[in-house]
Structure formats: C-alpha cells, structure tokens
Amino acid sequence: MTTFPTARDVRTTPEGLVWEPSERWVRGRKGDVTVVDSRHPILVWEPGVPVPLYAFPREEVREDLLRPAKNPRTGTHTGSQIFYDLEADGELMENAAWTFPADDLAAHIAFEWFRRVGRGPDHWYEEEEEIFIHPRDPHKRVDAIPSSRHVQVDIGGTTVAETHRPVLLFETGLPTRYYLPREEVRLDLFEPTDHSTGCPYKGTAEYWSWSGEAEVPPSVVWSYPDPLPAVGAVQGLLAFYNEAVDITVDGERLEHPATPFSKTLSTP
C-alpha cells in the first residue's frame, strides 16, 4: 500500500527542487480522455521558475497513454531524465510528460499544460473548478478590494481615466493593479485587440491598445468580463499596466515598477 506524504511537508531535493503535497483533487484531460485523476498530487517548484507545476503518483496517471519520447527535450526541466509522448484523443503530443531524477520524486510523473506551452492535457481541474496556464500557488494571495481612492491614468500627457471608485487588486509578487469603471475610462482612445490571456487566479482577459501618438506597448489595457469568483469585484472593470502608463493615486505619481511583464511589454 502506497504511503503518501502529509500536508505541510515541504522538502528540497539535491537538484534544488522544492516540493510539497497538495490535498486538492486534480484531474487533467486531453479532449474527452482523462489522463490524470489524482487525490495525492504534489506541487513542485523548479529553481528560478516563479510558478509551480503538479506531479502525480504513477498509479494515478494513465501510463498506458504514455510512450517513451522519440525526441526527448533534454534540459527543459531541472534534472529531468525520462520524457514521454502522450497519445490521447487521437493525437500524439511529444514530450508532454516527464520524471524528475530526485529520489523523493521518482514515483511521480509531471505534465506540461497545453495552454501554457502548446502540449500536454488541455483541461485541468482542481475539485470542480477548471484552472488555466499553471497550478495556483498556495503561498500566493490575490485580493480584489473596492476603494474610494482617487486614481488617474495618463498616457503621453493625456488623461485617459480618472475615478474615485477603483477596485484595487493585490497579488503577491506584483504591483497593485487599479481596476477602473468602464464609464470612467476614455475607451474611445483605444482599439480592441484579438489578444487574450488566461490566469489561474483571475480567469481570461481581453485587451485594448492605445491608438494615440505616444509610444505605448500594445494591449496595455485589459479587463476580465467573466472573472473567477474569488476576484468577482473586478468584473468588467479596466486595468492598465503600471509598467507602461503614468498612474497617480491620491495625488502621488507612482513609479513604473519592474516586473516579469516589463520584458514582454515592448513599444510598437
């Protein structure tokens, strides 16, 4: 009988991996095929990677759907030794799963997430809620709180938004984001885009780009039309990248923060 580690066990491997058990029921599907059905997943943090991934006991994985990888992607994961191709729902997906060499993790298999890297199971669930892009970090908190602060947003000297009714979104490791009522944003100065992103904490966002003369990165404004329940207060509101626009809160101009998004934002 398999003995599973208990919650709150946090361990580090010689390779620098940090892992801990999760008590969430996690399932991964490729199309209509359930590839993983686990009540004993573990969360693994690789060195230098800010978000975790899941690994699962082998007995909770459909190993019959895995094939030894024909073209292993060595070096893509910390100390990874064995890669697998996934054959499910009529499709073969190369390097969709792998194992870590650490003794603690030898009996577990990790998977890529299709919506993050383009391969692996394309639908993931924690309990009955679908999650996107990557697992949620239990050590990260996201709070959306209505406020009466005076928030003003300027681009190239033009005031594009101003409100006393923002919702402030506090997310561990990121600057405060200011979500503003749509009617208090000059959306006539922006154009909708086809760009969208998924977030395991907030949901799927839609974007707008600045149409003026100032040099501003594309897709600088976003909104969650149907956010996850935990951040329902931001539904339909609009937020700007602090990294790219000028935001003044209660008369104080905020500095442009350096964040993981700073490198991905580029001017047209």
Instruction: Please write down the HEC assignment for all residues of the chain.
Output: CCCCCCCCCCEECCCCCEEEECCCCEEEEECCEEEEEECCCEEEECCCCCCCEEEEEHHHECHHHEEECCCCCCCCCCCCCEEEEEEECCEEEEEEEEECCCHHHCCEEEECCHHHHCCCCCEEEECCEEECCCCCCCCCCEEEEECCCCEEEEECCEEEEEECCCEEEEECCCCCEEEECHHHECHHHEEEEEEEEEECCCEEEEEEEECCCCCCCCCCEEEECCCCHHHHHHECCEEECCCCCEEEECCEECCCCCCCCCCCCCCC
Range of the domain at 35: 11-131
Q: By C-alpha distance, which of 42, 89, 97, 37 is closest to 66?
A: 97
The answer on 127 and 62 residing in a single domain is: yes
The answer on 172 and 120 residing in a single domain is: no
Q: How high is the pLDDT of residue 268?
A: 45
Residue that is last in its domain, among 131, 153, 188:
131
Number of structural domains the chain divides into: 2
The answer on 152 and 90 residing in a single domain is: no
From the CB of residue 193, how many other CB atoms can be counted at a distance below 10 Å?
A: 15
The answer on 119 and 19 residing in a single domain is: yes
The answer on 127 and 23 residing in a single domain is: yes
Domain annotation covers residue 262: no
Q: How high is the pLDDT of residue 266?
A: 59
Domain annotation covers residue 196: yes
Sequence-distant (6+) residues with CB within 8 A of 194 are none
Domain annotation covers residue 265: no
The answer on 177 and 78 residing in a single domain is: no
With a cut of 70, list the residues of the chain below it in pLDDT.
1-8, 80, 266-268
Q: How high is the pLDDT of residue 80?
A: 67
The answer on 116 and 21 residing in a single domain is: yes
Residue that is last in its domain, among 101, 131, 161:
131
The answer on 146 and 115 residing in a single domain is: no
Q: Assign residue 98 the CATH number of its domain.
A: 2.170.150.40
The answer on 102 and 32 residing in a single domain is: yes
The answer on 111 and 174 residing in a single domain is: no
Domain annotation covers residue 1: no
The answer on 114 and 64 residing in a single domain is: yes
Residue that is last in its domain, among 71, 103, 131:
131
